[in-house]
Amino acid sequence: MPKVGVVAIQGDFEKHIDALRRSGLNHHQIVELRVPEDLAGVDRLIIPGGESTTVGMLMKRFGLAEAIQKASEKGMPIWGTCMGMILMAKEIEGREQFTLNLLDITVARNAFGAQVHSFEDEVEVEGIGEPVTGVFIRAPIVTHTGKARAIARYRDKIVAVQQGRRIGTSFHPELTADTRLHQYFLDL
């Protein structure tokens, strides 16, 4: 019986919680994470969309960042959507910003331009079958991959990566009715 932690400092964590319920989890299996103690008993982790500078700073201050890094080293599956992927990246283009350094990638924030605040379109994700609807909101793209593998591209830009049990997506599957990516993550 999986127990999934969702980082709940800021951002669209409630949408992930809804999506996990729709994926068949009950409320005992979903934990809102704010401080390191909340990780007790959690066996996988989602970092939602939000504001990466704020959440990164607070995660570090609360000690949650270090606790997540340790859990990840021991093999805990982690999935970051949008802000979550930014926080998992090794590097951010043109900025010195705190990250967890869990995915060997470089990301560019707000990479689709300020005018294109948000949009949605079909995206093919390796291992998922039929395309998913990618909801992109001030979305980042992956501009370089080291050990991480690209598992989705949109107009030639990398928008999803996997490195072992770590996944990052530029888009927000939690904002659609489709739970296939949540299921994929739960099966990792």
Q: Which residues contact 74 (CB under 8 A, 6 or more apart)?
A: none
| Gyration radius of the chain over CA positions | 15
End-to-end CA distance of the chain: 13
Among 7, 39, 50, 128, binds ligand GLN (CB under 6 A): 50
DSSP string for 82-111: THHHHHHEEEETT--------EEEEEETTT
Answer yes or no: 14 catalytic.
Answer: no
Q: Are 169 and 79 in contact (CB under 8 A)?
A: yes
∠ Cα 93 15 54 (to 5°): 40
Regarding 169 and contact with ligand GLN (CB under 6 A), the answer is: no
Regarding 51 and contact with ligand GLN (CB under 6 A), the answer is: yes
State which of positions 52-71 bind ligand GLN (CB under 6 A): 52
Considering the candidates 32, 37, 82, 120, report the single residue annotated as catalytic.
82
Answer yes or no: 144 catalytic.
Answer: no
Regarding 138 and contact with ligand GLN (CB under 6 A), the answer is: yes
Regarding 143 and contact with ligand GLN (CB under 6 A), the answer is: no
Shortest approach of ligand GLN to residue 74 CB, angstroms? 27
If the CB atoms of residues 2 and 52 are measured against ligand GLN, the closer one turns out to be: 52
If the CB atoms of residues 61 and 70 are measured against ligand GLN, the closer one turns out to be: 61
Answer yes or no: 28 catalytic.
Answer: no
Regarding 137 and contact with ligand GLN (CB under 6 A), the answer is: yes
Which of left, alpha, beta for 101 (phi over 0: left; psi -120 to 50: alpha)?
Answer: left
Ordered alpha helix ranges (H), 7-106: 13-22, 52-62, 64-73, 83-88
Among 5, 49, 77, 168, binds ligand GLN (CB under 6 A): 49
Regarding 80 and contact with ligand GLN (CB under 6 A), the answer is: no
Q: Quick one: tokens of 155?
A: 């107009």
Question: What is the set of active-site residues?
Answer: 82, 172, 174
Which residues of this protein are in contact with ligand GLN, per CB under 6 A? Answer: 49-52, 82-83, 86, 109-110, 137-138
